[in-house]
């Protein structure tokens, strides 16, 4: 099987997934968006209303802010892979439950093993807690640990990871906006610039 066939196979499995209760209330699963060549992966929590309607991650208000954040770090949305810890919207945007996360993680694992990204940007506590739990990193919460860089190995992939607040948090608390922007400009941007020095694409 070619890499591309494996890649699209994962998407097709997610689109017909019924492993957990979230399939009952979803409109569309949201497998993720971005090229198989992406060296940067952005991981959020779970699709929201707009994402559930469209099947595309981060297209609602939080997604607009995410696009600004990526640009501020010298990244184009089209060159990164954007996905979530769970691929279907929890009803009423509640947090995904532990069993829903564990049923869904196999998909993220396969996506990351194929992509072999160099950088993971973790948006919010759910993404960071889940990934650092798997990687054996002590996690003190996004308030304390946002903007730090952790070298991790997760699902067999070695990458630099940067946790920050979820962009939706800035929509409720405008003071967070500059803090998230700083994490992207002061922490993510130099890492991306470093990757670019090593090769012609991030
Ligand atoms: N919030 C997320 O965590 N993911 C999305 O795709 C949209 C909003």
Task: Give 117-132 pLDDT, tens digit per residue.
Answer: 999 999 999 999 999 9
Give the ranges where the chain is alpha helix by DSSP (H): 3-15, 22-25, 49-54, 61-72, 98-115, 124-135, 142-145, 167-172, 175-182, 189-198
- Return the best residue to mutate from 22, 54, 62, 92 for the ligand 1 pocket (most ligand atoms within 8 A of CB): 62
User: How far does residue 6's CA lie from ligand 1's centre (Å)?
Assistant: 25
Q: Is the CB of 48 under 6 A from ligand 1?
A: yes
Q: What's the angle, vertex CA 149, arms to CA 148 and CA 154, rounded to 5?
A: 125
Q: Mind listing the domains of the chain with CATH numbers? A: 3-197 (3.40.470.10)
3 state DSSP class of 19 = coil
Reported as a single tens digit per residue, the pLDDT across 10-49 is: 999 999 999 999 999 999 999 999 999 999 999 999 999 9
Q: Which of 31, 59, 168 to mutate to test the pocket of ligand 1 (most atoms within 8 A of CB)?
A: 168
- Report how many helices (DSSP H) and strands (DSSP E) the chain contains, helices first: 10, 5
**Residue 200, pLDDT above cutoff 60:** no
**Strand, helix or coil at 17?**
coil
- From the CB of 66, is ligand 1 less than 6 Å away? no
- Judged by DSSP in three states, 3 sits in helix
CB 157 within 8 A of CB 113: yes
Q: What is the pTM of this model?
A: 0.97
The per-residue pLDDT for range 138-168, each reduced to its tens digit, is: 999 999 999 999 999 999 999 999 999 999 9
Give how far Cα 194 sits from Cα of 132, 160, 162, 174, 189, Å: 23, 12, 15, 30, 9
Return the pLDDT at 100: 98
């Amino acid at each position: 099987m070619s890499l591309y066939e494996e890649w699209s196979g994962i998407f097709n499995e997610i689109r017909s997934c019924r492993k957990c209760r979230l399939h009952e209330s979803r409109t569309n699963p949201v497998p993720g968006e971005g090229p198989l060549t992406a060296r940067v992966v952005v991981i959020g929590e779970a699709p929201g209303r707009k994402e559930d309607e469209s099947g595309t991650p981060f297209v609602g208000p939080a997604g607009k802010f995410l696009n600004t954040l990526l640009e501020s770090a010298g990244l184009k949305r089209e060159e990164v892979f954007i996905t979530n810890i769970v691929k279907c919207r929890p009803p009423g945007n509640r947090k995904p439950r532990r069993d829903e996360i564990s049923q869904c993680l196999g998909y993220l694992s396969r996506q990351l093993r194929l992509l072999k990204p160099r950088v993971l940007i973790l948006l919010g506590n759910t993404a960071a807690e889940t990934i650092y739990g798997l990687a054996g990193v002590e996690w003190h919460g996004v308030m304390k640990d946002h903007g730090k860089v952790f070298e991790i190995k997760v699902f067999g992939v070695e990458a630099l990871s940067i946790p920050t607040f979820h962009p939706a948090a800035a929509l409720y608390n405008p003071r967070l906006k500059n803090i998230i922007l700083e994490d992207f400009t002061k922490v993510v941007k130099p890492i991306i610039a470093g990757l670019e020095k090593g090769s012609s694409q991030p």
